[in-house]
Amino acid sequence: MRARMALLQAGRAFEAVEVSLGNKPAILLAISPKATVPVLQLPDGSVIEESWDILRWALAVPDVHGWWARAQSPANLDLLLRNDGDFKHHLDRWKYPQRYATESLAPDSHRDRAMDVLLQPLEARLNSAPYLGGATPCATDLAVMPFVRQFAAVDPIWFARQNLPSVRAWLDGWLVSPLFVTCMVKLPAAGVIRFPSL
């Protein structure tokens, strides 16, 4: 989602191919032995295999509205690191407890650690500005939002009870944004969709 949103925001048309992670297609393995998603193949055949690198490619040059520059502040780089590191670790273990059944920490403890590592700092940031980019969004908003959405969706009733009014307002805004809504379209199995959709 972060890669799709960045490409759309930058006005770069692309084709998205649905991939079943349990049955990775040959076309993916051929261009990226690492075979995680997302993977972006450029018209010259070169391949970008990390989502943040796709955001950089999409947004940094030219950085028309500063979406890339504003993501380079120490506070935003710190938040990205938390999101892609400890938060993702705890989110996965809360969301998919059966996959991590042999681990010692209970799912609720992972949920609470995820709150400490990302949601509380995010709430503090969003108390003082509507976006991580300040008055307007930046690449960090795009990078963090899909994971916060996942976190909120694991137990929506529990999430609604948390004291996170600024996070909720920010998330709710993204969920109805044209950028997110356009990207969220379900791809046909083994099919290709051209963005922006014609």
**Sites of contact with ligand GSH (CB under 6 A):** 21, 36-37, 50-51
C-beta of 144 vs 164, nearer to ligand GSH:
144
| Minimum distance, C-beta of residue 62 to ligand GSH, in the bound complex (Å) | 23
Q: Least separation, in Å, of the C-beta of 51 and ligand GSH?
A: 3
Nearest to ligand GSH of 152, 164 (CB atom): 152
According to the 3-state scheme, what is the secondary structure of 168-182? HHHHHHHHCCHHHHH
Q: Are 86 and 116 in contact (CB under 8 A)?
A: no
Taking the complex as a whole, the smallest distance from the CB of residue 125 to ligand GSH amounts, in Å, to 21
Which residue number is nearest to ligand GSH in terms of Cβ?
A: 36
Which one, 2 or 125, has the nearer CB to ligand GSH?
A: 2
What's the min distance (Å) between Cβ of 6 and ligand GSH?
12
Measured from the CB atom, is 96 or 169 closer to ligand GSH?
Answer: 96
Pairing mode, if any, of strands 14-17 and 192-195?
Answer: antiparallel
First CA to last CA distance, the chain? 19
Query: If you write DSSP's letter for every residue of 81-146 in order, what string do you get?
Result: HHIIIIIHHHHHHHH-GGGGTTSSS-HHHHHHHHIIIIIHHHHHHHHH-SBTTBSS--HHHHHHHH
